[in-house]
Structure formats: C-alpha cells, structure tokens
A and B are shown apart, each in its own frame.
Chain A
Amino acid sequence: MMQFLFLSFKDQISFKVLNLDKMFSSFQHVFSTLGLVNMAASMAVTCRSSALRLNLLKKGINSRCFATTSSSNNVSDVKQAGETEAEYPPVLDTSFKATKDRETQQWHKLIQSLPTVQEKQLELNMSRYYGHWACQLSPHDVHYNHAEFIQFATRTNVVEAWPNVYSTLDDEVNKFLPVLKKKVEDILLLELCHRPKVDRVESRQQKETSDNIIWAINHALVSLLSDQADHIADSQSDLSPRLEAFWWLSDVPADSRQRHVRSFRRHIPEEERNDPVSRPVQFVGQPALLVRGRLPLPTLAGEGDPVGHQPPPLEMDSREPRTRQCAYKFRHGTNIPGVWPEDGRQFGLVNWLTREHLVRHATKYGQHAAADRPDALRAQACLSGFASCLSQACGVGFSPLTELTYPLTTQTVITDGRTWTFSAFQLNTTGALLTPAEHGAPGNTCWVLPEMKLYQSVTEKGVEGLNEEVLKRLLQLYLLPTGDRDGIDLRPYLDPERSLADAVEDDWLRNKYLQTYFHIMSCRPRSRLKDEVYMWEKIYKVQFQTRPMEARKRFFELNKYPDMRRLDDFYPGYIPRALRQNFVPARFKAASKHEKNVFHEMGRLRGHRNTDPKFLQELQELESWRDEKDK
C-alpha cells in the first residue's frame, strides 16, 4: 500500500518541501484516526528508507524534510520561513525483537486499562485455550536447597530480623499478654493432652493437630482483640482458603528445545539464540487459615529504608525450575486471594501455615534434613508471602504485568503448635519479575525470624516452659493496624463506574461472562482434550514421511497449532430450534443456531483496542515514554 501511495504521489513530488511535509503528516493523522497506528509509524520509517530518499533526491528534494526528531534544527530553519512546524511520529525500531516487545507492552497496557478484575484475569489467559505451560510451585513441595531458587523466582531478599514497625506496639502487647497466656495454656492442654487422636499416620495427625491449635488460637485472638482493635473486629477468617498466584518469571535459561526452534528462525540473530526466556509460574497453596481485612497493612520499610529494598541474591547453580524438581503443567493462570473479587476484604493480614511437609522432608533427605530445615522454612515463608501479596494485588486491580503503585504487605506464621516461625513480607514490585534480573536492582523483602519453641512439654499437670516471646510476636501480628496509604488510591486500575454488576446491562452477557470466569478459574479440564501427536504419527508422519498418499487430515498436517489456540476461539453452544427466538431475520438465521461468543460480545461492549481513544492515548504515552527512555 505504501508503494502505491508513493507511486501515485511521485509525479506531484516536485512541489515545495514544506507541502510534502504537510502531506505526510496529514496522512499519518488519517492513519492514526483510523486506528492504523503501525501504518502511521511505518510511514515515517519508510520515508527514511534509502530508495525513497534516492527518488526524492532525483527530484531535487533535500532529505532534511525526512529527518528524525534529532534533526530538529533543520526543521527550525524551515519554521523561520514562516510555515507551521511539522510533527513527526517517533522513530520505531522495526526489528523482530523490538516489534514483539512493543506488542507485549501494548498488551500490558490493555490489561491495565481493563476496568474489572475478572476481565484482567481472563485477558491474562486469553492467549491460551488450554492454559499456559506453567511451572508449578507449592508450599508443601520444598526440596533441598530450595530457598535460593524461590528467592530468585520471587525476586525476594531475606532479612533475618524483625521490622522496626512492631516495636511501637509493645505497650499494647504487654497489656494483652497475661490474658492470652492463660488462654493458650488451656488450648494446648486441651488439644495435646485431653483430645483423642484421630489419625494413625504421623503427618496427617500432625496436620490435624496443627489445624486445631491454629483454629483455636485464632478464635481466641480475634475475640480478645475485637473490642480494642477495629481492624480485627472487621476482619474475617477463612479455613483452608484457596490461595493461588500466577506470574511470568524472566531470566529463565532457554532449554534445548527452545534453542533448537530458534535455530530455524531467520529473524533471530545467532547471538540471541541463547537468550533467557520468560516462563509462566503458577503457585497453588492452601494455608491452614487466612485472616483478611478491608484495608492493607502498613508499609514495613519505606522508600528510604535500605533494608527493605535490597537486591535479591542471584548467584545459584541453575535457574531452570526443572532442575529444582518443579514440574511444568498446562494450566490456566489464576490469581486468587481466597475469595472472589466481589468480597470487600481483599487484603490478607495473617497467613497461618503448617509444618507437616517437614515430616516428608525429613524422610526424603535423611541426615541432611535437619541442616536444610531453616532453608526450607525460609522458602516456604518467601513463597507464601509473595503469593499472598501478589494475589491480593490482583484482587484490587493490579496484575503480574502491572507495576504496583504502593507496596503490599502480609504476615505469615508457620507452626505445628510447638515450633513457630514468624515472617513478614513486603511486595515492592512486580516489574522486577518481568525484566532481566540485574545485580543491584531492588526487589521484594521477606523478614524471617528463626524457629522458636512455644513450650518445653505439655502434660496433664500443665504446660512447662511457655515462651512468652512467641505470644508477643503473635500479638504484634494481630495488633499491627491497617489503614489507608495517605491519599493513595488503593484500586487505581479498577473503574467502579464500569463494573460488571452495574455497567453491563445485558443479563445474558453479564451472567455468561461471570460463569465463564468461574469456569476458567476452576481449572477444570476442557471437554475436548488438546490434540496430540501420537507416537506412531511422530515416527511415520513427522520424522519420516512414509505415508505420502494418505489424506492430510490431522492437525499437524494442516498447520494448526493447539498450543496457540486462543481462549475465545471456540464454537459457542448450540441452541435447539425450539429454544430459538421466534423471529430471526434471514441474514442472521445461520448465526442464531449458536449462542453468541461471550468474549467477542464483551470486547464489543468495551470497545476494540484500535477504536478505543483511551487505549490509543495510553499507547501514545507509552511510545513517548519509550523514546525518552531510549534517549
């Protein structure tokens, strides 16, 4: 098309320089208005191509009229002639990598501009019908020397200390300590001495006992503090909630398959074939108990605090998750802080975790398990804290692809009733996960205390050696008040005026979209499983073409890629004739046999990205930002 335009204007190109300048700028304006942003951008690039310059030089036109913004002095010369200043589009890099990066940035902006949590989460999964091939992480699968990889995967720096924020609560803690101490003694006596055992398997019995003690102590703390602390009075406690987090992890080394595929891509230079890649990561956890509130916890370390913004350690043997016994699996990405987004209490206050996995850890690693236990607990605290913060960030409108506007905090307790580990996590950034890990770049912070024993022994006579330090830490976690962040909007990327419940007037669309959201977030298997290449087909059809006369009907013979199938690429449900509407115009009769595609309908309602002026404006801002960054 560009060539056509050029040829059609070639004969008229002998007019003045400034007229030509106006002409190009006006075309760019037309293309921008029509939504053809890339066309408008490529026009400027094409005009700087050597062929065009050659033609123009033949016509006696100086090439300064196609100069980039860096040659603005020449334009100012022209301006002195009394003409208006030309506005040039930014110069875009048209290499494959830069184009892909630009598309990715546009997608990030799109997710940021979506007005509801449900739409953001579905857009994260929109590119994969059968889910992302994601590395699966679990707090209960803690392997040997696991902490360093978890710190890399969550970009977290571990501090073996306790934040200073808690020291201001000492007076209140000492006030409640005697009452709580007596109550905890009663709970321990009842649970450990006077309650019949349920399970004969050690890890299961330990899990049962831990859950009971956690439940009882949490109930005691909430009832004790609800009259004094408003944030506890307004909180809710969930038993075994669904805590899941999904993010993309950059700087994972490319595996042999990736390098092999890259070797066939001509647009990938040889020096880039070994570049690291981004991999989806899915955390699936179920804490024993989760306390949630309406407002976030305060920042544990402000921007000026160097302790809370240290770079994570990046020196390790391998960054490949599979070398850490973490498997990959096709699964939809889910970010769930225990409840759906309609619940008002999205901010996690205290995470209660159990230690029964350490029984398996000890069995698995034998004599080395004891030395590795602090490492395992550190990994568990980091992973659970990060997942809790990220999922609650997604619950208030951020995403793993959207940078936070304020840090988020959560607190974690890991216990089996006797041994306690306290930790606090501050999520400073999600952008660090998307960019290459650089030495010195600040990340997130996890404060972890060493293990503490709550008691020495519990007999029917009583509890011996009750450690008040544990109870003080526990009270500190519950007494740390929540609150607003000094005028910062807690949900900057959610639009209450465009919520699903209020703004979508079509009952069918609203209901169907919500059901689709639940369906995708449940991660149930698809009704039709993904196409696969059978072993005999791989041998006789793919590797060796031994059946040339056979009809090419299989998906891999028709250039179809199930992995690349989009989430909205499906036939909607069939409507039986009896249930169709009475009157359907003839031109819509074929379409009326099926329901409407819920994603297309929602996209039509929200506006397509190329016609949405808000999105175009954000895109322009993004490009200008990138230009400034390049400078």
Chain B
Amino acid sequence: MRFTPVLHKHLLGRWYNDMWKQKKRVTVDNRKLKQALEANGKTVYDAAKLFGVQWEDREPRVMETAVGAEAALVEPARRPEHHQTAAFVYQGKNLLLGQRQAQALTNTIQVGEGLPEQVTALEGLERIRNQDELVTDVIKTSLMFDATQEKLSKVIDVTRLGLPQPVQYGVPELRSNRSLLSGLLSLCERLAVRLDGFQSRLTLYRPLLSATHVTSDGHRLLVSRRPELALMADRPLPAPAPAQAVEASRAAAAPQLEPVSPFVHLHSVHDYQWRDVAPVSAGCRHRYVHTLFLAWNGRIKKWVDDDQLGALSVMSMHAAAVNMARQQAGPGRPAVVQCVATDGRLFKRSVLQLNTQAVPDPTSGEVSTRHQLKNLLWTEPATPLYERCAYTDGRPLLAGYNAEVFNRLLALYMNGLLARTVPDLN
C-alpha cells in the first residue's frame, strides 16, 4: 500500500499521537530501586526534601469521552462557557414531539385555523411584474442551476449495506435553502418602493438570536437558533388579537404532554452562553423583528414535515418576541412576530403574539402555567412551492409550481406596510 499522507494520518499519525499522549504521563517508578538500596543497608534521601524543591502536582488524568473529547481534556472550571447549573438547550436541530411540544414549552395556544385576518386580507392585493417567471427562475437557480459542487453528507443506502456507499457531490441543502429564501425576499422587497416603505424596512443576513428563561422552580431553558434571514421594521406589527381575547386565554390550556415532561428531547448541558442576544440592539431604529425566515438545516430531513417546521417556527418566533419584549423594558404592548419556515419545498407561515414570558416547569408541566396568560399562535399548514425541481433524464425540470405560495409571502411582507395595517402608535 502506498504511504500517502492520508495513510499516514490514518494509521501512523494516529499511532504516534497516541504514543505521545501516553508517554508524556509516564514517570520513572523508582520504588523497587529504593527497596533494593534499603535492603542493602543504604540510606535513601528524598531529593525534594534534600534540595528544598517544591514539585508541581502532576496533571490530573482526565478520561476522554467520545463526545467533545477536546473540551473534556480542559478542566471544567477553566472553560469559559461552563456553568454549574445545567440548562436545557434548544438549537433548532432537535426533533421535538412536533408543534405541540413547542407550544407546551413556550406556553402558547393556537387560535383557530389559518393566519389572522389582517394578513389574509392582503393576499392577492399586489403583484410584482413578471411575478411567476421571476419566482420560477429563483427556484431553478437555487435548486438546479447553482454550480456549487461540494461533498455532501453521506446518505446510507440500506440496499447496499456492506458495499461502498457512493460519495455525493452537489449543492448543500443549507445553501440552496438560503438562496431560495434570499431570492424570494428580494422579490418581495420590490413592493417596498411602490408602497412607500423603502426606508422603513431592513433585511439582515444570518442574524444572531438567543433567549434565556428560568422556570419557577429554577430550571434554565436556552433557545438559540440563527435564522437565515430577518426582516426588520421601524415600528412594531399590530397585535392580531384584541385585549379581550388575550385575557380570555387564561381559561385555555396549553398542550399537555403527560406523562412526559415538555422538556423531553432537549439536551441538558453545562457548557452554554447564558445571555439574551437580539438581532439588533435596543437603540436601533429598525429594532422590531417583522418576519423571520427559517430553513431546516439538520441532517435528518426525512423526518421533517409540517409538524417539525411548526415546532421550529414557534421556538424561533418565541425567542425573537421575548427579546423584543425585554428590549422594551417595561409592560409594553404584546410583541408580534411573523415567520416563514421551509425545508426547501414546503413553506409554512406563522404569526405569534407574545403575551407572557412565563414558561412551564420541567417537572409539573402545564399545571405550572394554568390560569395564566397564554401566548397566541396563528399558523397554517405547510404548502409545497413546487412538486419537483431537479434534472430529470438530463433535462431541467420544474414540476407542480404553486403560484399561490408567493402571493402569501407577499401578504406577510405587506403586513404593517400598507397604511390601514400600520398601528396607531399614539
């Protein structure tokens, strides 16, 4: 076999490294020598005492673990992100028990079916020039014509177990989803000039977003997920639900997951950054999150469906709304956030109205938030933007294009932009 760098790294390099790690801890064990000398009547002095040298303690042996081996080698107390208290962390890659668990975690109830009327009333009001042609071009470019060729994650073909699995190259899903969302948002933004909202909107690429919660029994919950895009506005969205409806939410119950805890499937870790991170700081003119654009970027795509996209939407919208509410620093109006979540084909719209920041306890679950205010969620089933978009038999093919989806995105974008949907700030 050729002695290639890869081979060296795989075999000998690893062996050298292992030997180096072992040898560095080996010390000369002179106990037998001392015994032999003393048996012969020789006096053995301790060198450290004789010369007055203070030996440094040897490094404590740290067991390497399969997960986070490098981090485990560092003493926990020295790691900057280490905390004594464990926290439940949601980073968007966890598969929750669907939207029900996300609602239970965020103390949210769903209001009827579909989106609020103030959004649905805007559907079909405006169109951009050559709309369908431009949208289909964005889809084709993002999913087919992008020339990026990267090594993709290996998908195990169960029919070929024991045989070499093919190495796939192509456009990573994360990249194609971002291109798709970016292209569609760019088309939506063309309405801004026409509707006199050019200066009131700004878009953010890959904003940071993180929200912390402490439950009433002292447990910590951290939601940290970077959206692909965020549309920011200079004024908040109007609340879809009136004050009476908010007050009536006390009587409703958030989804119950008994006998399991609503915190099931969340990782409990000690290494995390315990801080709230809003996309922009409170002093910014465009500090209100208008719409979050999310793309599923986990590897387990085959289990992702309408329910999982809903869970992702609820958790991210809740984090953004909590940050907005905390930036207001006082009992302000309800924070409202919109969201578009996609896996590249399905598009799901949601709207969340945050009325309370309270979250349930991991132990008692829904009981801990009973008779309190609930957050309100409007959502609609995920709709496919197209049925198939790929090279088929050597020909580019876009089949089953659904023009209605982009009209709905336009309606989300226009919410708060048209004069009649802008709230009266006075």
Q: Can you name 5 A-B pairs with beta carbons within 8 Å?
A: A193-B283, A196-B278, A211-B205, A223-B193, A242-B148
Q: Is B361 an interface residue (CB 8 A)?
A: no
CB distance from A270 to the nearest CB of B (A): 39
Instruction: Find residues 297-325 in chain A having any chain B CB closer than 8 Å to their own CB.
Output: none
A236 near B141 with CB under 8 A, answer: yes
CA A195 to CA B134, docked complex, whole Å: 32
CB distance from B140 to the nearest CB of A (A): 7
Q: Is B165 an interface residue (CB 8 A)?
A: no
Instruction: Find residues 137-180 in chain B having any chain A CB closer than 8 Å to their own CB.
Output: 137-138, 140-141, 144-149, 151, 167, 169-170, 178-179
CA A344 to CA B183, docked complex, whole Å: 16
Question: Which 3 pairs from chain A and chain B are nearest by CB?
Answer: A510-B394, A522-B149, A194-B284
- Segment among A335-343, A376-384, A539-547, A616-624 that sits at the interface with chain B: A335-343
A223 near B190 with CB under 8 A, answer: yes
B284 near A189 with CB under 8 A, answer: yes
- B interface footprint on A220-257 (CB within 8 Å = 1, 0 otherwise): 10111011000001101111011000000000000000
B149 near A521 with CB under 8 A, answer: yes
B205 near A336 with CB under 8 A, answer: no
B190 near A195 with CB under 8 A, answer: no
12 additional A-B residue pairs with CB within 8 Å, beyond A224-B193, A236-B138, A524-B151: A190-B204, A198-B208, A211-B205, A216-B203, A219-B186, A219-B189, A222-B186, A340-B145, A343-B145, A518-B169, A519-B169, A521-B147
A223 near B148 with CB under 8 A, answer: no
Answer whether A524 and B202 are a contact pair too, CB < 8 Å, given A189-B284, A194-B284, A342-B396. Answer: no
Within 8 Å CB of B280, what residues of A? 190, 194-195
- B interface footprint on A607-620 (CB within 8 Å = 1, 0 otherwise): 00000000000000
Within 8 Å CB of A271, what residues of B? none
CA A519 to CA B166, docked complex, whole Å: 13
- Choice from A226, A236, A345, A513 contacting B394 with Cβ under 8 Å: A513
Q: Is B192 an interface residue (CB 8 A)?
A: yes
B140 near A241 with CB under 8 A, answer: no
B275's nearest neighbour on chain A, judged by CB, is A196
A500 near B149 with CB under 8 A, answer: no
CA A504 to CA B394, docked complex, whole Å: 10
- Interface residues on chain A, number (Cβ under 8 Å): 58
- Choice from A195, A227, A238, A524 contacting B193 with Cβ under 8 Å: A227
Within 8 Å CB of B204, what residues of A? 190, 195, 212, 216
Within 8 Å CB of A226, what residues of B? 190, 193
B198 near A223 with CB under 8 A, answer: yes
- Choice from B144, B185, B202, B281 contacting A187 with Cβ under 8 Å: B202
Interface residues, chain B, CB within 8 Å of chain A? 2, 4, 129-130, 134, 137-138, 140-141, 144-149, 151, 167, 169-170, 178-179, 182-183, 185-186, 189-190, 192-194, 198-199, 202-208, 232, 277-281, 283-287, 391, 393-396
Within 8 Å CB of B186, what residues of A? 219, 222-223, 237
Within 8 Å CB of A343, what residues of B? 140-141, 145
CB distance from A412 to the nearest CB of B (A): 20
B201's nearest neighbour on chain A, judged by CB, is A223
A532 near B140 with CB under 8 A, answer: no
CA A460 to CA B182, docked complex, whole Å: 28
Answer whether A223 and B192 are a contact pair too, CB < 8 Å, given A186-B202, A216-B205, A523-B149. Answer: yes
Within 8 Å CB of B170, what residues of A? 518
Answer whether A501 and B395 are a contact pair too, CB < 8 Å, given A182-B199, A219-B186, A242-B147. Answer: yes
CA A513 to CA B394, docked complex, whole Å: 8
CB distance from A112 to the nearest CB of B (A): 23
CB distance from A368 to the nearest CB of B (A): 34
Answer whether A532 and B2 are a contact pair too, CB < 8 Å, given A186-B202, A239-B182. Answer: yes
A194 near B394 with CB under 8 A, answer: no
CA A267 to CA B254, docked complex, whole Å: 89
Within 8 Å CB of B146, what residues of A? 238, 241-242, 338-340
CB distance from A483 to the nearest CB of B (A): 18
Within 8 Å CB of A224, what residues of B? 193, 198
B194's nearest neighbour on chain A, judged by CB, is A227
Answer whether A233 and B2 are a contact pair too, CB < 8 Å, given A500-B394, A510-B394, A521-B149. Answer: no
Within 8 Å CB of A189, what residues of B? 284-285
Within 8 Å CB of B144, what residues of A? 340, 342
Q: Is A162 an interface residue (CB 8 A)?
A: no
Within 8 Å CB of B232, what residues of A? 190
A507 near B394 with CB under 8 A, answer: yes
A194 near B190 with CB under 8 A, answer: no
Within 8 Å CB of B179, what residues of A? 238-239
B198 near A340 with CB under 8 A, answer: no
A342's nearest neighbour on chain B, judged by CB, is B396
Answer whether A511 and B394 are a contact pair too, CB < 8 Å, given A195-B207, A195-B280, A343-B141. Answer: yes
- B interface footprint on A508-529 (CB within 8 Å = 1, 0 otherwise): 0011111000110111100001
A239 near B178 with CB under 8 A, answer: yes
CA A130 to CA B85, docked complex, whole Å: 56
CA A198 to CA B207, docked complex, whole Å: 9
- Choice from B145, B178, B281, B393 contacting A511 with Cβ under 8 Å: B393
- Choice from A196, A513, A523 contacting B277 with Cβ under 8 Å: A196
A194 near B141 with CB under 8 A, answer: no
A236 near B199 with CB under 8 A, answer: no
A194 near B281 with CB under 8 A, answer: yes
CB distance from A628 to the nearest CB of B (A): 41
CA A223 to CA B192, docked complex, whole Å: 7
- Choice from A179, A194, A518 contacting B283 with Cβ under 8 Å: A194
A243's nearest neighbour on chain B, judged by CB, is B147
Interface centre among A187, A219, A237, A342, by most B CB within 10 Å?
A219
CA A374 to CA B148, docked complex, whole Å: 31
Within 8 Å CB of A342, what residues of B? 144-145, 396
B149 near A242 with CB under 8 A, answer: yes
Within 8 Å CB of B193, what residues of A? 223-224, 226-227
CA A340 to CA B171, docked complex, whole Å: 12
Within 8 Å CB of A360, what residues of B? none
CB distance from A530 to the nearest CB of B (A): 11
CB distance from B19 to the nearest CB of A (A): 25
